[in-house]
Chains A and B, each alone.
Chain A
Amino acid sequence: MVSPILELTNINKSFGHVQANKNINLKINKGTIHGIIGENGAGKSTLMSIVFGLYQANSGSIKINGKEINLRSPRDSIVNGIGMVHQHFMLVENFTVLENIILGFEGETVFGEKLANAKKDLEKLCKTYNFNIDLDATIADLSVGFRQRVEILKSLYRGAEILILDEPTGVLTPQEVDELFKILRSLKDEGKTIVLITHKLIEIMDLTSEVSVMRQGEMVGHTKTKDTNKEQLAEMMVGRSVLLRVDKKEIKKGEVIFKVNNLSVKDDLDVARVKNINLEIRSGEILGIAGVTGNGQTELLEALSGIRKVESGNIQLFGEKISDQDNFLNPRMLKEKGLAHVPEDRQRMGLISDFKAHENLIFGYHDQEPFSKSAVLNSQEITEYSSKIMQEYDVRPNSPNLITSNFSGGNQQKIILSRELNENPKVLLVGQPTRGVDIGAIEFIHQRLIDMRDRGAAILLASVELDEILSLSDRIIVMFDGKIVGEKENKNVTDRELGLLMAGVA
């Protein structure tokens, strides 16, 4: 039998007292696409960072082609034919593709004949794998999908036989994902080995031939992809059976309660990010905003929630004008009028990670009774409330005095949701409600949003996860370059259609 190209035996890694990897065994065969799936914090990225030499394992061995090797730095890994494409690209924005690829590559110079040779080699590579990249283009001018290709090309040029991709599709449109998968398949056909780290089941089913599942730092199973299905994988990931579809009953929509007229918004650098947008939401309706990150969704939500100034146009709540270019209500006044906001970026905006959980649970409501009375905070009331609501929203652990950064992403998100939903808002603005949240909590959060809708709230949901938009929304609008480029009732809409709109080509 041929020995696997990469074999990990009993890998252990701990950070302080957190054991990120426990006795991991993994065999990856040459010429396969091997998926590694698990929830956030399951230890996937740690494991792959060990393989790429970024971390050193506390114990265990790594073999490549049956030969034990010692990886002390990424350089060792590159020499051994391992390449990695990170979630966040490591490219110099104002350099060309060619410059980025040869940057820091030992044994080459960036002048004269050698440069020309390097370019020739790269052109050959591009052709073999259908990369379709202009080597002289500047990185800053390239779309995210192309930048990712540059990263892959970089690894291949350095002689990678095993290519590790860490959550490669998070920032791509469905069409770009298709292109990426095409490239990955052609790499496999040429005999390269690909390791795909992801938390998206659908990608595993589409692309991989073998899959390994991680949960809480342990490897809980290996299987051939064709012998399994999504439900089974989800159950392995979470450790219990999971409802993948959201149960949503038809509901009668009410009147329009939130309306946006000709809204334009600029960002901090004075660049127009929202351009003349009109929308309305009825009570009992979830309006989904689909779009690739950075097409104005962030600024739109900020303007609607009173954080960002409106450039022109206005916003109406129950027919009353709440914001226009001259004045806008601040978030606290909007809360009093029944508008709540779950911000996209919980670390940056939604909560204060150094505060205790109970302090975050009253954040923005801290000056209301019973939490405070004539400026003095009522600690007892706050603590009682906190532990009650943490129970209700299943925030684990239920310790109101724990510092918030010690909670997992999912539980932090539940802290925000419990705070914002508890007042029964009439209008709810939600950005990326499940980003970095584990499957079990996603199910819970989606159910809460549907409950809010059924109770007659008008909900605006912005998400980069198309699946989320499709499973929750009643109506979907697509944003591209600050404009609404499409609006559809959520009936028989496919992610293909939306993808074309998101890419701005339809």
Chain B
Amino acid sequence: MSNIVVDKSKVPWWVSNVIVPLVNLTLALLVSGLFIFIAGENPIEAVKLIIFGSFGYIQGFAYTLYYTTNFIFTGLAFAVAFHCRLFNIGGEGQAYIGGLGVFLVAINLSFLPIPIVWLLSICGAFLFGAAWAYIPAYLQSKRGSHVVITTIMFNFIASSLMIFLLVDVIRDTNQMAPHTVKLPEAIWLPSFEAFSGILGIKIRYSPLNLTFLLAIASLFFVWFLVWKTKWGYEMRAVGHNTQAAIYAGISPHKNIIIAMCISGGLAGLLGVNEILGVSHKIQAGFPAGYGFTGIAVALMGRNHPIGILPAAFLFGILYQGGSEVTFEMPNITRYMFVAVQGLIILFSGALENLFRPQIESFFVKRLNKEVNA
């Protein structure tokens, strides 16, 4: 047991918010390196491959940013709910249903002017995701059913529902596979290669598209919402101290529902990237675990947009670089990188306080010496 007690007010913000996460990340990567070594490959070579795969050529970098886009949405989704102390594990299901929203709006309203279709599809994604989060939120606020349990269950329900729809209702009847028809090409979101084409640079296909900018805008939106509006203030008040919120006339019910709906809506935006931007149709299982990884992104990013951006980027690098590694190193499977992600979650989430007191007291002592000297 550690007996170090640190006066929190004396710890500089950059120690708790930059140094500590970096130390935890480094440890996770060291342990991952050990695994790679045990698997019979050279960890240094693996790191080189990751860096080359995610930065080394323009197409790889575009892939990295594409993954980053998804992680920003799901990371923000988790963070918003967390500020109201709600553990929204349901990003996966909300993203899935959000995708349904994009598709239904886009295919039914494709006759409208294109920017309007985009705008309405984004709203569709947000509303469908929010609606899927509303049910657990309602159950939590009115019936006290814990949101962790219900959102996990709602992931399964979303998955079953979508499979049913994809098989029996909205399947492309010319195909055997469970996916829908493609959206008309005119309303696809412009891709990165289309942009570079305009600039006269020719690059090969990548899934990166305009949604990346929406993700950046969402970062700003969440920052503004949580810290600069009275809604965010009330959400945080309910999250930190429900009793006090009631005392101040702030309704916990209302805020639980608002926080969960915004959270679900942000997760739903993942559907914009996947469906309007990349595959242009709903495929079974398209959220592919982004919703869960978003939890790790938010934890690493300390639930702040400024932290979530680099954390999402880091996971983007791991995804893109990781697939490069599995390609080049036969002993390393895809699951190895799931384990690496797991280690990052372990060190930056569960073991977050393992070294925090030591690191903080180290810096507090050093800084005090400088002041006194």
Contacts and interface: CB of A to CB of B under 8 A. Distances in A.
A363 B248 contact: yes
Contact of B249 (A331, A403, A406): A331
B361 A352 contact: no
A403 B8 CA distance: 9
A16 B6 contact: yes
Contacts of B57: none
B9 interface: yes
Interface string B216-259: 00000000000011110110110011011011111100000000
Contacts of B249: 306, 330-335, 364
A341 B230 contact: no
Interface in A373-419: 375-377, 379, 402-403, 405-406
Contact of B246 (A15, A307, A355, A402): A307
A352 B240 contact: yes
A406 B7 CA distance: 9
A226 interface: no
B364 interface: yes
Nearest to A373: B230
B353 to A, nearest CB: 15
Chief secondary structure at chain B's binding surface: helix
A17 interface: yes
Given A305-B247, A366-B230, 14 more contacts: A16-B7, A17-B7, A17-B10, A18-B7, A332-B248, A341-B247, A348-B244, A363-B244, A364-B248, A366-B233, A366-B234, A376-B228, A377-B233, A405-B8
Given A343-B247, A377-B230, A363 B9 contact: no
B133 to A, nearest CB: 21
B9 A364 contact: no
A406 B243 contact: no
A375 B230 contact: yes
A341 B247 CA distance: 9
A405 B8 CA distance: 10
Contacts, number: 84
7 contacts: A18-B5, A330-B249, A348-B243, A348-B244, A364-B247, A366-B234, A372-B230
A307 B9 contact: no
A241 B273 CA distance: 69
Interface of A: 15-18, 305-307, 330-335, 341, 343, 348-355, 359, 363-364, 366-367, 372, 375-377, 379, 402-403, 405-406
A16 B243 CA distance: 31
Contact of B228 (A18, A353, A377): A377
A364 B246 CA distance: 9
Contact of B361 (A16, A355, A367): A16
B4 interface: yes
A353 B243 CA distance: 12
A352 B9 contact: no
Contacts of B364: 16-17
B174 interface: no
A122 B231 CA distance: 61
Given A333-B249, A359-B233, A367-B230, A349 B6 contact: no
Contacts of A364: 247-250
Contacts of A335: 249
Contacts of B247: 305, 307, 331, 341, 343, 349-350, 364
A356 to B, nearest CB: 11
B8 A354 contact: no
Contact of A375 (B6, B7, B229, B248): B229
Contacts of B6: 16
Contacts of A332: 248-250
B372 interface: no
A15 B233 contact: no
A364 B249 CA distance: 7
B228 A348 contact: no
A402 B244 contact: no
Contacts of A348: 241, 243-244
**Could you say which of B5, B229, B230, B364 has the most chain A C-beta atoms within 10 Å of its C-beta?**
B230
B12 to A, nearest CB: 14
Nearest to A15: B5
A352 B237 contact: yes
B14 to A, nearest CB: 16
A366 B236 CA distance: 13
Contacts of B7: 16-18
B175 interface: no
A403 B251 CA distance: 24
B240 A355 contact: yes
